[in-house]
Amino acid sequence: MKKLISLLLLFTFTHIMMAQEKGKTPGLPYYEIPEAAGEYTAGSVASRMIDGLGFRYRWATENLREEDLQYQPGDNARSVLQTIDHILNLSRIILNTALKEPTDFTRKPPVLTYEEKRKETLENLMKASGVLRKEVNLEEFKIQLVLPGGTTEYPFWNNINGPIADAIWHSGQIASFRRSSGNSISPDVQFLQGTIKNKP
């Protein structure tokens, strides 16, 4: 059963990636938002929210310089790079929830470069979106957090107002911070349409 689910997930992810990149610049997910689902269901709406997050994160983190990554508005605020670390952890929760697997915070995460963090974050979001897009009922998709004190569980509702909303919030912070460090997001990004003007 696990093998079948893994194959189905791989097929869905590959299909979405191919559809998204067709006629567009190849590379990381969410150059543009994938085509919307054919009908409104709990899963397709959750999937679209994650796609919106992925698109915003992709462009908030596009072409960041070292000075952008180190920028922080004050001594008590996260830097852009620290914010990227936080969003990566949120993306892991989002994906693990979609896979019905726990997120284990008792294990030390691997050391990654900025590019690797960005790539994993975007791929996590794309995979989670692909899984949820086909679902009608999200009751079985619970957040499971493994913490030093034990495992805590939350319903999918908390995934919406927690990790998904939080990651959108922090993507906006990166967009604001990079503007302050002199490297604004490309003016070709159309957030309402989920598309890019003047494609190369």
Q: Residue 12: pLDDT band by 50, 70, 90 thresholds?
A: very low
pLDDT tens for residues 78-132? 999 999 999 999 999 999 999 999 999 999 889 999 999 999 999 999 999 999 9
pLDDT tens for residues 94-108? 999 999 999 999 998
Instruction: Assess whether pLDDT exceeds 90 at residue 4.
Output: no
Instruction: Assess whether pLDDT exceeds 70 at residue 7.
Output: no
**Integer Cα distance of 124 and 118 in angstroms:** 10
Mean pLDDT, all residues of the chain: 89
Q: Residue ranges per domain, the chain? A: 2-196
Q: What is the pLDDT of residue 16?
A: 46
Q: Could you tell me which CATH class the domain 2-196 is placed in?
A: mainly alpha
Instruction: Assess whether pLDDT exceeds 60 at residue 18.
Output: no
